[in-house]
Amino acid sequence: MVAQTLIELGQNSTTAIALIRQKRSPWALNNQTFEQYLNTGIDIAYLLTGLETHT
């Protein structure tokens, strides 16, 4: 949630992930699928998974 918020506030995904790992733990966001989602973006993730677009 924090990473997505940082991205929506203008940080790129790499910076957002690095900041969270710096403040919390190097193992924070250790889920590769979630990290890929952050790098891809929610709009593309919706398209790739066949989900309806968010409103």
* Domain spans of the chain, in order of start: 2-49
The Cα 51–Cα 4 span in angstroms is: 18
What is the predicted pLDDT for the residue at 33? 83
Tell me how many degrees the CA angle 45-50-54 measures, rounded to the nearest 5. Answer: 60
Residues of the chain with pLDDT under 50: none
| pLDDT at residue 6, rounded to an integer | 93
The predicted structure's pLDDT at residue 37 = 82
Mean pLDDT of all residues belonging to the chain: 83
Name the token pair of 16: 């957002």
pLDDT score recorded for residue 54: 56
The 3-state DSSP class for residue 25 equals coil
